[in-house]
Structure 1
Amino acid sequence: MQTWARELGFSQVGIAGVDLSSAEAGLSAWLAAGFHGDMQYMAAHGLKRARPAELIPGTVSVITARMDYLPSSTPAAPGEWQALEFSRLQRPTEGIVSVYARGRDYHKVMRARLQTLSERIAAHVETLGHRAFTDSAPVLEAELAARSGQGWRGKHTLLLNREAGSMFFLGEIYVDIALPPSEPVTPHCGSCSACIDVCPTQAIIAPYKLDARRCISYLTIEHAGPIPLELRPLMGNRIYGCDDCQLICPWNKFAQRSALPDFDERQGLTGQQLVTLFGWTEAEFLRLTEGSPIRRIGHARWLRNIAVAMGNALRASGPAADDPLRPALQARAHHPSELVREHVEWALAQ
């Protein structure tokens, strides 16, 4: 199975059982605290997330798969790519898109390849019921991946792997046959708290506990409404996602480049000026984000995110930034969307 997986661009596969009962208390407490914010689908499915056999009746085992996503252009020297990404924060008029979102939508890439892997396995057993998922159903992905030997849960709640850090996507295949489970690995975070300390909004409120409502990835991608006023200045020039807790992690010096060209950076999304991105019409936004995960937030939320970054740039750069930024913001002051207008007004007041 590992050979087939590697031929399809996966880095590793593992197998987990379906008894996740020990994770239910933590999931229930997280939901009860409201840490999921607007992500109502998290609460709607409740404990089904921790019960694979309830989600897909007949499920006996879960095959987990991991796929590295660093672009092929990523610098090779250990730590160099992380330093390069951190340096973008020092250029406030430039927009930062999370590394994973600079290429093709991983949902599309992973789902198709998981389906192919499922079919290859099915061809070698008498009968196989299977269903593939990629961040697309109530599945406890990181928990299943940890139980199947893909890595351990870091203090930022993401999965960490000794040979690949955390810069990878996860996917699962629920199957109705019993497979021997993989051996879990031991955790290796020790006393390190770098991810907790670096978080711009202090969203990691304790080791292994994330308040999504404060997370920049959540605010720029999942959250549909106005961004809380007190968090806007902390977002800097991050306009889609945030990688800081991963960039600072010592294990990510081992992060691997993708075996696929799908995750190579699209021209125009990396190192681009905020003014340019803010100037995209809705038609341009749809055209330039076709096949990209960014498209799903829609044009209005894209403008909302960039307006916040432009306001932060005005404050950080002072009068020098006024010339290009202020006129661009003023051009959107009467946008049809109240969400956009409100964030533009805030930005102009910085």
Structure 2
Amino acid sequence: MNLAKRTQRVREEALRLGFDGCGFSKAKRLEKEERRLEEWLNQGRHGTMSWMENYFDKRVDPTKLVPGSKSVVSVIGSYYHPDHQRQQQESDKPKIAKYAQGRDYHRVYKSKLKKLFNFTKELVGDINGRIFVDSAPVLDKAWAARSGLGWIGKNSNLLNKEIGSFFFIGEMIIDAEFTYSTQVTDHCGTCTRCIDACPTNAIYEPYRVDSNKCISYLTIELKEQIPEKYRDDLGQWMYGCDICQDVCPWNSDATYTRMDDLVPRQKILNHNIDFWKELDNAQYDALFEGSAIRRAKFEKFKDNVAAVAGNSLES
């Protein structure tokens, strides 16, 4: 089987599994991204996420992360759902970022990527490699862009003209070769909606985000209490933030998910601030079982709730 046919078969299987895009790039050191990442880290823009400094060489070179690797196979899959359109209009309700409303995407993607890996192994023969879902030193967005699945937008998210940006990214880094995809051009143009809409000015220049100011970082990754100067800016965002994606024109007709596990769980939606204020640890565990929201521990989540309560129209 020639490389073109092999590539086509793997892409078709990825789409059959529920992914919305599959691209292929040659595994090699990301020299341009390496320089940008080093500068960003040196400026302390990663906040308290010290783990981003670890395994730097592996982060920018997949052949060091997976010895013998030849290709990075990137997949993207939408988590957007019709319910999200209604939620965007309910400004008085505490908000949870869209990506976290369904089942933990790490579990969903890993299961599907394992199937894709096994399919590839049967197709190609004895191959070696690993699958990744936001769980190792891999520059997911950079590889997806190199694989022709979109471009890095001014809000630093990967944008796709057909799908939007409400999607997850995963990879197979393997020692098989494929026909490699062509990168797409930047289609942000002169638009600055994401920059203008960010209430904390976290997008300090086009294509650059300061994590220290980002609402997603403040409500998830920051283990300490949210600084007083940012608490008003949270608005109703109790976990994560979608502001820079909601205003993006490329999301005006975003693709709906084809993965049932990523559909929003109704039991965590439409609660008022009083419900969240009264939530105890046992209720938290039960409500968010199998959810990515568990990344924020109970004490952290309750601090987020307290900040939102101060901004709530119902409090």
TM bucket (normalised to shorter chain) is over 0.9
Alignment partners' CA distance in 1, 2:177 and 2:48: 37
1:51 to 42, 46, 61: 61
One-letter amino acid of the structure 1 residue matched with residue 202 of structure 2: A
Letter in structure 1 aligned against 2:69 = T
Distance 1:239 1:73 in 2: 18
How far apart are 1:277 and its partner, in Å?
Answer: 1.6
Q: Distance in 1 between matches of 2:232 and 2:267?
A: 25
1:65 is aligned to 75
Identity of aligned residues (%): 39
Distance in 2, Cα, partners of 1:3 & 1:72 = 26
Pairwise CA distance, 1:85: 4.1
Q: Give yes or no for the alignment of 1:36 onto 2:46.
A: yes
Q: C-alpha distance in 2, partners of 1:245/1:47? A: 30
2:203 and 2:90 map into 1 onto residues whose CA distance is 22
Matched, 1:27 2:37: yes
SS of residue matched to 1:23: helix
Asked if residue 18 in structure 1 is aligned to residue 17 in structure 2, the reply is no
Structure 1 window deviating more from structure 2 (252-261 vs 160-169): it is 252-261
CA contact 1:71–1:261 (8 Å) conserved in 2 = no
Structure with bigger gyration radius: 1
Give the match for residue 169 of structure 1: 168
TM-score w.r.t. structure 2 length? 0.94
**In 2, Cα distance between the equivalents of 1:227 and 1:73?**
29
User: Which residue is equivalent to 2:285?
Assistant: 286
Q: Retained in 1: the 8 A contact 2:150–2:158?
A: yes
Amino acid of the residue matched to residue 5 of structure 1?
A
Q: How far 1:126 sits from its partner (Å)?
A: 2.2
State the alpha-carbon separation in 1 of the partners of residues 242 and 61 from structure 2.
30
Q: What displacement does 1:304 show?
A: 0.6
For 1:110-148, what per-residue CA distance to the aligned partner results, in whole angstroms no more than 9, with x for missing partners? 011001100000001121102000100010010000000
Partner of 1:348: none
**Which residue in 2 is equivalent to 1:148?**
147
Aligned residue for 2:270, secondary structure, equals: coil
CA contact (8 A) 2:155 2:208 kept: yes
Asked whether the 8 Å contact 1:72–1:261 carries over to 2, the reply is no
List structure 1 segments (4+ residues) > 3 angstroms apart after TM superposition.
Answer: none
- Bigger drift between 14-23 and 189-198 goes to 14-23
Between Structure 1 and Structure 2, how many residues are aligned?
305
Whether the aligned pair in 1 keeps the contact of 2:66 and 2:174 (CA below 8 Å) is no
Q: Which runs of 5+ in 1 are unaligned?
A: 75-80, 326-350
SS at structure 1 position matched to 2:268: coil
Does 2:6 align with 1:4?
no
Q: 1:148 to 1:99 in 2, by over 3 A?
A: same
In the alignment, the residues of structure 2 paired with residue 287 and residue 293 of structure 1 have an alpha-carbon distance, to the nearest angstrom, of 13
State the match for 1:99 in structure 2: 98
Contact 1:162–1:254 (Cα < 8 Å) also in 2: no
Deviation digits for residues 243-277 of structure 1, max 9, x if unmatched? 00000000001211111111222123222111102
Aligned to 2:123: 124
